[in-house]
Every structure is written in C-alpha cells, then in structure tokens.
C-alpha cells in the first residue's frame, strides 16, 4: 500500500520551503544575493520563521527521498531506478537550465548585481553566468541524483544485509543516531555555496533508506511522538534564542550542536507525527501531492521576480510586497507547471516527464 503520510510530508514541506523563501528574500540578517530588509523596524521578529524551519526541512526531504527510494527499489531493478532518476532529476538540472531555468538565473544575478558590477562582461559570459545561477533551488535534485547513483552501488555491496539489520533499530539507537548526524554535518561542506552539505544530506538520505523505510521503526516513532515533539520544540526554542540575528545558514550556526540536534529530533517528530495522524488522502492532499514537484521547481522564480521588480525599487509597502511574493511563489509555480507539463519537449527538459507511449 502507498504510504500516504510520505506524500503529505513531501507537499507540506515544500509549501513550508516556499513560505521560507518569501521571508528569506527580505530577511534582516544581511544574507547576500536577495533583496534584504525592506521595512523600517529595527528587528524583524517574523524572521524567526527561518530559524524555526531551515535547520530541518531539507534534511527531512532527503530522509523521505531515501525512504521512497527503498520503496521504489522493492519493485524495480537498479538499472530502472537510475534511468528513472536520470530523467526526473538530471535532465532538469542540465538540459533544463538551457531550456528554461536561465530565466531564473537572470533574476538571481540581477538581484546580486553581477552585471552592474561588471558592465563590460561579454554577452556569452553573461549567458553562462545565468545558466549557472539558474541552478538555484535545483541543487536539491542535483544531490539527490548523485546519492541515487551511490545508493545503487551500496545496494550491490550490501545485498540487504545492513537494511535487514537496521529493521531491528530500537528507540535508544534512534536517539544515539543524533551523534553520527552531527558528525556527518562537519564534513564535505562546500566553502562558498553552503547549501551543498554532502556529508549531512547523504547520511540522512541513507538513514531514510536503511532505517526509516522499516514499518517497525516508524511504529516506534509514532509511539514516541509526544516526547519527541516536546524535545524538538525545546531545542528549536533554544536555537532561536541563541542564534537569532546571526546568519543561521553559515558558520558557526549551521554546524552547531543546537542546529543539528534540533534538526534531527524535529525530523523524528515529524515522521512519527505524520505517520500517526496524517496517513490519509483527500482530493485536496492528492492535488497538492501531484503538484509538489512543480511547486518546488518553479516557486523561487515568482518570489525572486517580485523581489527584483517590486520589492527592491520599493514600489509597494512591505506587507504588500510580502503578500505578492507569497502569491507569486505559489501561483506562478502552479501556472508554469500546468503549461510546461503539456509542452512536448519542455515537459521532459524542465520537469523530467517521460514521453507518453503511443497506444498500439
């Protein structure tokens, strides 16, 4: 049976990411590459949303991707898995950059002022800068494709021995796993583009595959959901008190004990809570689930465009800019998803949708 709580985690988390990027676009912490603060208040307390959500939402998505990979591989071969992931993940972040995402790249470099700082840059150089900058939020599917390749190799070596052993994971072991999660976050981090946290994301992807894909482990999380929720809320509160006002996405915050313990226990609580209370579907949840990938791929274009053309020149009051960004983030994403998914070449290049086989 399909694990509906995974679908619900996925689309809800993507929606949380969209809202996060609205606050991120106008954050008061001085993060470069966005519009930044557009209000006159000394402290933007609503920026706390970023501190509450950023530590865990991408780790959770990688865990869910690991669980989903296990479920897929139970019915498909490794070759089919790689072929599917290559179409779904690699094509949009390679061919898709030239087919569409260079538009996002243009908006990104305009926000960063790259062209203004380099007025003599040749056109071809500007184009390739836009291509590279167009990766944007697609870094997630870049890493996911690499992790999928590595997983197939690991499966051939493991032959399910480790997976079967992980099915015996008890609650004490789940608690102790916070230590390797912390350690994994200290390695394989790129120095400039800090979103590429290979150590943390690969380890938590493997946790999803080997540990959290077991129904027995999920049952433990369901049982212990209330204390896990209390612990994660306490850690999140402590993290916000300690780091609010600092750059939460860079050193030292994003490798700190508070950041990573909050991250891990929040993921445990969400997996347990959603499995316990949200393992169902409705017409609305099914609609959102089917379009969560479109929402993730396209949402930042609407938000950043409002930021560039309305927010930065201060053409509207700050509350209106925030609201327009939120509407554009969801609205443009769903519109582009509906249009591009129907265009023969672009549906494959931008969204990784396979060509439909003609009926014989």
Neighbours of 326 (CB within 10 A): 19
Nearest-angstrom CA–CA distance, 311 and 313: 6
- What is the model's pLDDT at position 117? 78
Question: Which DSSP letter does residue 357 get?
Answer: P
- What is the model's pLDDT at position 356? 61
Q: Which of 38, 41, 55 is nearest to 111 (CA)?
A: 38
Contact 104, 139 (CB under 8 A): no
Question: Which DSSP letter does residue 353 get?
Answer: P
Q: Tokens at residue 82, please?
A: 């790689």
What H or E segment, with its residue span, contains residue 308? none
Neighbours of 286 (CB within 10 A): 14
Cβ-proximal residues to 237 (8 Å cutoff; 6+ apart), any chain? none
pLDDT, averaged in runs of 10, over the chain (360 residues): 92 97 92 87 94 97 97 93 95 95 94 80 87 93 96 94 95 97 94 89 98 96 97 97 91 94 98 96 95 96 96 94 97 97 95 67
- What is the model's pLDDT at position 134? 92
Question: Which DSSP letter does residue 87 get?
Answer: I
3 state DSSP class of 352? coil
């Amino acid at each position: 049976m399909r694990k509906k709580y995974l679908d619900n985690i996925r689309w809800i988390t993507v929606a949380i990411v969209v809202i996060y990027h609205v606050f991120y676009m106008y954050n008061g912490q001085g993060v470069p590459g966005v519009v930044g603060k557009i209000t006159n208040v000394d402290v933007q307390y609503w920026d706390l949303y970023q501190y509450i959500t950023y530590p865990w939402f991408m780790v959770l998505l990688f865990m869910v991707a690991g669980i989903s990979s296990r479920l897929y591989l139970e019915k498909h071969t490794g070759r089919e898995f790689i072929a599917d992931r290559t179409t779904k993940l690699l094509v949009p972040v390679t061919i898709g950059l030239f087919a569409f995402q260079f538009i996002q790249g243009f908006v990104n470099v305009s926000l960063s002022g790259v062209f203004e700082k380099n007025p003599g840059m040749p056109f071809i150089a500007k184009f390739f800068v836009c291509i590279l900058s167009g990766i944007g939020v697609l870094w997630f599917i870049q890493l996911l494709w690499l992790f999928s390749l590595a997983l197939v190799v690991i499966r051939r070596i493991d032959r399910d021995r480790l997976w079967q052993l992980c099915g015996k994971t008890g609650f004490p072991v789940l608690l102790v796993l916070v230590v390797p999660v912390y350690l994994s976050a200290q390695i394989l981090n790129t120095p400039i583009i800090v979103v590429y946290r290979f150590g943390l994301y690969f380890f938590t992807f493997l946790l999803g595959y080997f540990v959290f894909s077991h129904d027995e482990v999920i049952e433990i999380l369901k049982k212990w959901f209330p204390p896990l929720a209390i612990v994660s809320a306490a850690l999140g509160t402590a993290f916000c008190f300690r780091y609010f006002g600092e750059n939460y996405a860079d050193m030292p915050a994003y490798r700190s004990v508070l950041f990573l313990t909050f991250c891990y226990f929040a993921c445990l609580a969400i997996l347990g809570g959603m499995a316990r209370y949200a393992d169902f579907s409705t017409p609305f949840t099914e609609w959102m689930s089917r379009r969560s990938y479109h929402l993730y791929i396209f949402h930042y274009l609407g938000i950043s465009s409002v930021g560039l053309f309305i927010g930065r020149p201060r053409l509207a009051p700050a509350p209106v800019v925030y609201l327009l960004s939120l509407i554009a983030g969801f609205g443009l994403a769903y519109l582009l998803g509906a249009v591009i998914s129907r265009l023969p070449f672009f549906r494959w290049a931008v969204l990784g949708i396979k060509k439909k086989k003609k009926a014989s």
